[in-house]
Amino acid sequence: MSMSATTAGRTSSAAPEVRGGGVLPWLAVPALLSFVAFAVIPLIGVLALSFTSWDTLGDIQLTGFDSWWAVLTDPGLPHALWVTFLVTAVSWAVQTPASILIGVFLAGHQRYRELLAVLYFIPLLLSSAAIAITFKALLDPNFGLGAGLHLDLLNQDWLGEPVLAFSVVIFVVSWQFIPFHSLLYQGGVRQIPRSMYEAAELDGAGRVRTFFSITLPQLKYTIITSSTLMVVGSLTFFDLIFVLTAGGPGDATRVLAVDMYKRGFQANLMGAACVIGVILVLLGLALALLLRRLGGRDPGASQLEGT
């Protein structure tokens, strides 16, 4: 089975040159410094704060595992974990097939497809907060789209019913991010050698067969990349959900990130918020590693074989 993509050829030819010189480690210094300053150090701070009680006003008090105990025994935590998992799983399941299909469609070089592609990427240009405010206005049960157009079907308590509110979150998240993932897939599809399709055509494979036997397997690493971005990204969904539902109705859409904000900045429990922050980091790392494993061998190495 051939696994190649043209990028693989490029990286493999470029790598030895760089490796030869001694410049490479130095080139990493700026990135490393900013990573340490803006990721590692705050992370250590969060970990340290999780063993304290701090209301942001008084002194920071070392309280050992008190905050951990308070968070881990709070029935709100399993709920927030469950909601986070649901958001992650459902938004992945909605976005991935849609993105692949759209990506494959947009990979064609026809004029109208390129025009559509440009239009289609517009949601990417908007900020999450702006998208959330807009959808909130559109979905308003009394002054929104449904009331304006007198369409009873659109006139639901969109953000007031737990299941509807959850679906709205998934829909808006998908609306915002499918274009991005389609872009990834579009790039992925365009790098599949044409010769493979020509061969398949000669063998008499139809469109559907070609899609499942050539396009999809060839997109394996794009799927892994896109899934990693989706899964890790949806762990930290905050702005969109916070503006759209603020975790409501009740706590139906309270994902971990919203829970963290509410505990830290609204309830003034910085220790507990930091505990959730640590849990989020661990979850994100675990999921990213797991997804890499799912790809079988190390993607970097395996891309070198084939063609």
Partner 1 sequence: MESRTTSRRTFLGLSMGLPLGAALAACGTSGPAKPGGGGGGGGGGAKATYWFLSGPPGEPVRTAAVERFNKANPNSQIELTAVQNDAYKTKIKTAIGAGQAPTIIWGWGGGGLRSYVQAGQVEDLTSWFDENAAVKDRLFSGAFGAATIDGKIYAMPCETVQPIVLFYNKKVFEKVGAQPPQSYGDILDLVKKFNAAGIAPFSLAGQSRWTNMMWLEFLFDRIGGPEVFQAVFDGEKDAWNNPAAIEALTKMQELIKANGFIKGFSSVTADSNADQALLYTGKAAMMLHGSWSYGIQQAQGGDFVPSGGLGWMNFPPIDGGKGDPSDTVGNPGQYLSISSKATPEEKEIAKKFFTSGVLDDQEQKEWVDTGGVPIIKGSDSLFSGSKDAEFLNFVYGVASNAKVFAQSWDQALSPTAAEVLLDNIAKLFQLSISPQQFATNMNAVIGK
Which residues form the interface with partner 1 (CB under 8 A)? Answer: 42, 46, 55-59, 128-129, 136-137, 139-143, 156-162, 238-239, 243, 245-246, 248-251, 260-269, 273, 277
Residue 53 phi, psi dihedral angles, 5° rounding: -120, 130
Q: Which residue has the tokens 């019913």?
A: 161
* DSSP per residue, 145-162: HHHHHT-GGG-S-TTTSH
Residue nearer to partner 1 on the CB measure, 90 or 278: 278
State the nearest-atom distance from the C-beta of 183 to partner 1, in Å.
22
State the nearest-atom distance from the C-beta of 48 to partner 1, in Å.
13
State the nearest-atom distance from the C-beta of 147 to partner 1, in Å.
9
Residue nearer to partner 1 on the CB measure, 214 or 243: 243
Residue nearer to partner 1 on the CB measure, 46 or 189: 46
* Neighbour count for residue 184 (Cβ, 10 Å): 18
Closest CA to 56 of 288, 286, 272, 225: 272
State the nearest-atom distance from the C-beta of 252 to partner 1, in Å.
8
Q: Which residue has the tokens 């299941």?
A: 163
Residue nearer to partner 1 on the CB measure, 224 or 243: 243
Closest CA to 70 of 274, 222, 282: 274
State the nearest-atom distance from the C-beta of 278 to partner 1, in Å.
12
Rounded Cα distance between 117 and 286, Å, is 34
Q: Residue length, the chain?
A: 307
Q: How many CA atoms lie within 13 A of 247 on its CB side?
A: 18
Q: How many CA atoms lie within 13 A of 189 on its CB side?
A: 22
Residue nearer to partner 1 on the CB measure, 57 or 153: 57
Amino acid 162 reads P
State the nearest-atom distance from the C-beta of 243 to partner 1, in Å.
7
Residue nearer to partner 1 on the CB measure, 156 or 191: 156
